[in-house]
Chains A and B, each alone.
Chain A
Amino acid sequence: MKKAISLILVMLLAFAICVPSFAANEPGGTTTLEYTVAASYEITIPENVVITEGTGSGAVSVNAGSLILAGEKITFTITEATNYDGGFKLVNGADATILLDYTIANDVTPVVLDEAFLVATAAEANAGKAATLTYTTDDAVAAGEYTDTITITVATVDA
C-alpha cells in the first residue's frame, strides 16, 4: 500500500512539473487540387459539295468550344480521294473512263493530298477556326454528272 501511494504521489508531482510547458503553435497543411479536362472537339465537314459552272465550295471547321490538349494541334487533311491519280479527278457517271480534273484550294493555297490544309492550336480550336475549300474543275469534254469522294482526316498531334 505504501508503495502504491508513493508511486501515485511521484506521478502527480511529475505531472505538475510538466504542466507549464506551453509551446508556440502554428501548424498547417497542404491540399493538392486536381482537375482533368478531357480533350473533346466538334468539327464540321460538309456532307457534299455541289459544283456548278466549274466551281463550288464548302467550309470545314473545328468549332468553338473544342478542347485540345496544350502542346497539341488539330489538323485537317485530305487523305483519300476515290479517283485520285496524281491529282483530284471527277468521274463521269455514265462512262467511268471519262475523268475531269479538279483542284481544291484553301483561299489561294492549293490543297494537296496528305498535307494538312487546316491546322489549329489548342487556343485557336477553342475559339473556332474554319477553312473554306474552293473546288474548281477543268473544262469538261463530255456532258454528264461527275462525282468524286474525298476523305478528310482530322487528327490531334504534337504542335
Chain B
Amino acid sequence: MAVALVLVLAFAISVPGFAADFELSSETTQGVPVTFGVAQSFLVTIPEAVALDANGEGSGTVSVSDAILPFGESLTVTITGATNYDAGFRLKDGDNDSFIGYAIKKGENLIQKDIAFLTVAAGDSTGSIQLDFAASAATIAGQYSDNLTFTVAVA
C-alpha cells in the first residue's frame, strides 16, 4: 500500500515537467510555482428574533467572528429588506392594517436600510454591533411584527 501511494504521489509531482523540452547536455532550471490560497471564511451571527418590551424597546446583537478576508476587501452587514418598510421601518399588526414606526439605532446613530451598519476589514477577525430597536407610541393595541433581512457581503 505504501508503495502504491508513493508512486501516485511521485506521478502527481512530476506532471508539470512534461511540457519542458530539455537538451541532454545543457543545465536547465525550471521554476515551479508554489501557491497557497486561503479561502475566505467568516461566521456571522444574526438574532433569530427580537422581542420589544412593553415600552417598545429591545435590542439584538449582530456579530462577525473568525473572519478571514481577502486582502484589501471588507465584510459588510446591511439591512436590505424589511417586510413593512415604507420610507421607514414599520411594525404591522397581524392581518390588520395598523402600523407602528420604529427606529433602529447603533448607539446614537440611526441605521438606514441599504446602508451597511457593520464593517469588518481584512485583517480584523471580529466585529459586533448592538442594534437598539425603539417603536413609536402605539395608537392601537395588538401583536405587531416585522421581518428584517440582513445581507452579508465581501467586497
Contacts and interface: CB of A to CB of B under 8 A. Distances in A.
Nearest to B46: A29
A95 to B, nearest CB: 49
Contacts of A37: 56, 100, 138, 140-144
A26 B149 CA distance: 13
Contact of A39 (B38, B139, B141, B154): B141
Given A28-B80, A31-B148, A13 B50 contact: no
A26 B153 contact: yes
B37 A20 contact: yes
A31 B47 contact: yes
B35 interface: yes
A31 B140 contact: no
Contacts of A126: 139-140
Interface string A9-38: 110010010011111011111111111111
A34 B94 CA distance: 11
A31 B60 contact: yes
B36 interface: yes
A10 B3 CA distance: 12
Nearest to A28: B151
Interface in A27-66: 27-40
B9 to A, nearest CB: 5
A88 B74 CA distance: 79
Nearest to A1: B2
B23 interface: no
Given A32-B48, A32-B50, 20 more contacts: A9-B5, A10-B8, A21-B39, A27-B44, A27-B152, A29-B150, A29-B152, A30-B147, A31-B47, A35-B52, A36-B142, A36-B143, A37-B140, A67-B139, A68-B141, A70-B98, A70-B140, A122-B140, A123-B140, A126-B140
Interface string B121-142: 0000000000001010011111
Contacts of A34: 49-52, 143-145
Contacts of B44: 27, 29
Number of chain B interface residues as a range = 35 or more
Contacts of A10: 5, 8-9
A97 to B, nearest CB: 49
A133 B52 CA distance: 41
Given A29-B150, A33-B146, A34-B145, A13 B9 contact: yes
Contacts of A69: 140-142
B102 interface: yes
B50 to A, nearest CB: 5
The 6 A-B residue pairs whose C-beta atoms are closest, nearest first, are A70-B96, A29-B46, A39-B141, A3-B2, A35-B52, A6-B5
B91 interface: yes
A56 B51 CA distance: 50
